[in-house]
Amino acid sequence: MESHTKFKASLSLPFSLLADTELTVSRQFDAVLTHEGKDYAARKVVLIDKSGKVTYRDDEYSLGDSADLEALLAAVEKL
């Protein structure tokens, strides 16, 4: 998705972003938000290592919170 590519580049993020329009992955990680009877992928941060193990999850990640960013980057460094 082009918007994700631009967003990732603008922040120099060292990881991929997922646009789960079919909610396939969102359902697996209990990350579905229902609004006015329609289901949407909720914004969550989940890091998965190469073996498929979830190594980090933040259900309330805030782009404007430097502590959230520091915690996320520290988790990425551990991968």
pLDDT, tens digit (0-9, with 9 covering 90-100), for 35-63: 999 999 998 889 999 999 999 999 999 98
Output the pLDDT for position 77.
92
Average pLDDT, the chain: 90
Which helix (H) or strand (E) is 74 found in, with range? helix 66-78
What would the two tokens of residue 5 be? 């590519």
Give the chain's domain count. 1
Q: What is the mean pLDDT of residues 12-25?
A: 87
Q: How far apart are CA 74 and CA 1, in angstroms?
A: 26
Q: How far apart are CA 75 and CA 38, in angstroms?
A: 33
Q: Which of 10-14, 37-41, 58-62, 64-68 has the lowest mean pLDDT?
A: 10-14
On whether the CB atoms of residues 32 and 26 are closer than 8 A, the answer is yes
Domain that holds residue 46: 2-78
Output the pLDDT for position 19.
83
